[in-house]
Each structure stands twice: as C-alpha cells, then as structure tokens.
Amino acid sequence: MSVEQEAPPTQRGGGLFGKAVLLLSGNAASSLLSLVRNLLIARLIPVEDYGVAATFAAAMSFVEMLSAFGLQQQVIQSKQQDTKWQSALQGFQFARAVLSALVLFFSAGLIADFMGVPEVAWAYQVLAIAPLLNGLVHLDIYRLNRSMRYGPMILTMTVPVLISLIAVWPLYMMFGDYRVMLYAILIQMGLMMVISILTAERALRLSLDRSVIGQVVRFGWPLLINNILIFVVLNGEKIVVGRELGMAVLGIFAMGFTLTLTPTMVLAKSVQSFFLPQLSKLQDDDVRFQPLARATIEANFFNGALLVVGVVLLGEIFVTLALGDKYAALVPLMVWLAILQAMRVFKAGGAVVSLARAKTENAMVANSFRVLSLPLSWWAAVETGDLLLVIWIATAGEMCGVIASLVLTRWRAGVALARLWPVVGCVLALLITAALFAAHGDIAALAGVPRWTLAALCVALLGLCGWTMRDTKAYLSSRKRKTQAA
C-alpha cells in the first residue's frame, strides 16, 4: 500500500479498540517513565535543587510557546496531506526551533536573575540545544495518527524517556545536583529526534513555502496565543511560588504538580489522539459528529473525575512511600491539586471538538480565565505566603474556563450539550465530596464523619458518572457491534 493512502482501521489489524488500548498504554508508559525519572531525581537530590530543576521545563516551555502554531494538530486535522505540504510544515517547524533556541540562549541570564538563581544561567544556555533537537522531530509520526497508526509516535515518545531514566544514576554519580535533570532532558530530546526520523515513512525534507506559511499562521495564531496561555496555566503559579516563596517551596509545589498533572496529560492526550482523527473526518457530517463530540467531552469529564478519586484513595500513601519525609508538606495539598488538574481535563474535551471544526480560538478563550487569576495568585503569595490559597485561586480560574469551554463548544462548534448535564452534575458532586475529604480535619462539622465514608462516596459518584455517559456508552456499543460483524 502506498504511503500516500489511508486504510481504514479494520484493514490494518487490531481493530479500533486495539488501537485505543495501544495508544493509551503507549502514552501511559511514556508518562509513567517520565514520572519515575522525576521521582528518582527528586529522591536523590535536595528539595531546593529539585526546585531549580523544575525551572528548566518552565524555561523550555517559555521559548517553545513563543512560536508554537499547532503543527502536530494541523498535520492531523488538515485535508491536505501531500509530501510538499508536509516538508513546508517541517521547514517552518525547524525555523521556529532556531528562533526558540536563540531566544533561550540570549535570555538565559535574565531568566536566571528573575528566578533568583543567577548562578545557573549557564544551564539555561546549554538547554537551548533542546529546541533545536525538537525542531527536527519528524512530523510523519503525527501524520500517521490520521489513519490511526500510532506505533511510530509511541516509540518516539517512550524509548527516549526510558533511556533518560536509565541515565539518571550515572548522571547523579557525576553531578549530584540539578544538572542531573538538565542532561536527562537533553538525552531525551536527542533520542526523540533520531527515533522519529527512523520510524517515519516519508523522508525528512525541509522547505519554506510562503503560501503554506500563510495557512499555518491562519490556522495556528489562536493556538499560538493559546500556547502562551497554557504556559501561564502550567507555569504561572510555579514562577510565582519560586520567586516569592523560594526554591524549596517550589520543589514541593512542582512535585505535586507533576504527580497530579502526569495522569491527566496521559488521559487527555490519549483522548485527543483517539477522537481528533475521527472527529476531523466527520466535521462536515453533523448527524454523526454530534454524538461523537459529546462522547469526547464525556470521556474528559470522566478522566478528570478518575484522577480525583485516585488521589483521594492513594495520594497520601504514594507520596509517603515514593518521596519520604522531605516531601511531607505535599500530602495536605494533593487532593486540592488533583481538583485543580481535573478542571484542566474538563476543558480538554471542548478543545478537541472545537479543533476538529477548526475553531481554534475556543481553547484560547477558555484558558484566558486561569491567566486572569494569576495576578491574584501573585498577590496571595506575596501577602500571605499561603500555598493552598494560591491553589484555590487557580482552581477558581479553571472553573470559569470550564464553563467558557462548554458555552463556546455549544455556540461556535455547534454541539448540543443538553445530554451532558447528568454527567456534569455527578462530577460536581464528586469534586465537592473530595474537597470535604481534603478539608476534613479543618471543618468541625465533619468531626463525626469518617474520612473513609467520604472516600467511598467519591468512588460511588465516579461509578454514577460512568453510568450517565449516554453518548459514550452508545459509541462503545456501536463499535462493539461493528467489531462483531467484521
């Protein structure tokens, strides 16, 4: 079969649900390995050094967001799939990577001074190699997702982080501080570039085409702004905490973010990779698009709820066993951080649906509410030094974003949402119960209610949430019938 053709999933073996399992397991493996690497580094180096290491990811995100036009999404969503068009996308990606590397290299001193660690400016300059490596990652691994061939992408995401995990101990023996994270990141990025090229079907070609650049900019400018907003969403509070409360507190906060963000990213990324190709192909078929769009949103609501229940049941045990006493201050924050990250996942469903219909502005607007809350978070950090208050403010911003995402999905993407309200109601009840669980020791009215009762209620509400997901259940039933018929 020519590499220019796309065969339906049933012709490539494994079936649709086999692809879904492969995708989820691949994303989970990559994120789990990354999490284990970060946990190992956090366990080995001082908390303050882990805070410095956490700023590396923030610095990379900062320069990447300055020129991110959603090329990975565009190579899946667009109906144009010829090699000339793809090589122009690839050339544009590398050009922006060069720009990102130059910005990071020459702003390294400013970043280090702003974060209060001027002695590590050299590390940010070394980190400028990473955007260059990322700019040569082959877009073919994402193009193949359009026909639901996920193997090359999974290999590219999984093997490099495994090798970087293996490298942690030798790096620790050589350096013993934040440099372990620096060089682990560079190893991962270099291997991602190499494996993406080796597993691609098309040769890596770079070109610059003015007409394609125009298409990229028109499609991607809302995504560029959204990426700026996402940077603020993911790193805004970290920057505030690191600058105002110090690297040791940032180490605690960044680890809590990692533990709760990792599973949400796995689930949200898997949902997008699974549903976006299907939604994109149905973008002009409203009858079939509507129920699939609602199933996508339902799946993200369930994923966020699942994260919260998991942290309620296992969060304290995991932090204690994996990180030890030096991260004891993280335990009271875990459920609150899980609620915060769940709100982010709830927005993701509407973003995927809107992206399938090229309504790229929707995610930008939804994320703006979290950004608007950042000055209030900064004030809270300066005036009170209360990390929990910072988390609550961020959560309120995310909640406003969820509401905006649903409104925009209904208004601009044209998806009827009335069937979703039972799911939304169950999830809201679950979040309230989880909040009571987290605040159990501080609320006198709960003194006679065992915490395990609230945990059990969270589990029951999660089950009820799954039961009310009508469009998801209908989608699963229809796929099962088609599989049996085939």
Q: Which among 373, 329, 367 has a CA at the least distance from the CA of 351?
A: 367
Backbone CA torsion sign across 168, 174, 177, 178: negative
- 30 in Cβ contact with 164 (< 8 Å): no
Q: How many CB atoms lie within 10 A of CB 279?
A: 24
Residue with token string 């580094």: 41
Longest dimension (CA), the chain: 69
Q: How many CB atoms lie within 10 A of CB 276?
A: 21
**pLDDT reported for residue 3:** 38
**pLDDT reported for residue 215:** 75
- 67 in Cβ contact with 96 (< 8 Å): yes
Q: Which among 262, 269, 266 has a CA at the least distance from the CA of 322?
A: 262
pLDDT lower than 70: segments of the chain: 1-24, 26-27, 60-70, 73, 76-81, 219-223, 226, 233, 441-447, 480-486
**pLDDT reported for residue 481:** 65
- The dihedrals phi and psi of 244, each to the nearest 5 degrees, come to -95, -30
**pLDDT reported for residue 172:** 95
**pLDDT reported for residue 4:** 41
- In angstroms, what is the C-alpha Rg of the chain? 22
Rounded Cα distance, 364 and 89, in Å? 22
- 168 in Cβ contact with 184 (< 8 Å): yes
- 309 in Cβ contact with 458 (< 8 Å): yes
CA distances to 27, 119, 254, 292, 301 from 278, rounded to whole Å, are: 19, 49, 35, 8, 19
Angle between helix axes 387-411 and 286-323 (nearest 10 degrees) is: 170
**pLDDT reported for residue 240:** 84
Residue with token string 């565009």: 74
464-481 in b/e form (b: 16+ CB < 10 A) is bbbebbbbbeebeeeeee
Rounded Cα distance, 36 and 26, in Å? 15
The angle subtended at Cα 351 by Cα 349 and Cα 355, nearest 5°, is: 120
Q: Any idea of the CA torsion for 475, 362, 146, 32, to the nearest 10 degrees?
A: -80
203-237 in b/e form (b: 16+ CB < 10 A) is ebeeeebeebbebbeebbebbbbbbbbbbbbbbbb
- 420 in Cβ contact with 300 (< 8 Å): no
CA distances to 132, 343, 461 from 456, rounded to whole Å, are: 49, 21, 9
Rounded Cα distance, 302 and 298, in Å? 6
**pLDDT reported for residue 311:** 94
Q: What is the pLDDT of residues 168-196, one digit of tens each?
A: 999 999 999 999 999 999 999 999 999 99
**pLDDT reported for residue 188:** 93
How far separated are the first and last CA of the chain, in Å rounded?
21
- 30 in Cβ contact with 157 (< 8 Å): yes
Contacts of 424 (CB under 8 A, 6+ apart): 301
Query: Which tokens sit at 468?
Result: 């009310």
**pLDDT reported for residue 2:** 36
Query: Which uninterrupted H or E stretch holds 388?
Result: helix 387-411
Q: How many CB atoms lie within 10 A of CB 324?
A: 11
Rounded Cα distance, 357 and 348, in Å? 15
Q: What is the pTM for the complete model shown?
A: 0.69
Query: Which uninterrupted H or E stretch holds 134?
Result: helix 129-135
Query: Which tokens sit at 389?
Result: 């208050």
**pLDDT reported for residue 278:** 82
DSSP-assigned states of every residue in 224-244: HHHHHHHHHHHHHHHHHHHHH
Query: Which uninterrupted H or E stretch holds 484?
Result: helix 470-485
- 369 in Cβ contact with 400 (< 8 Å): yes
- DSSP state for residue 119 in the 8-state scheme: G
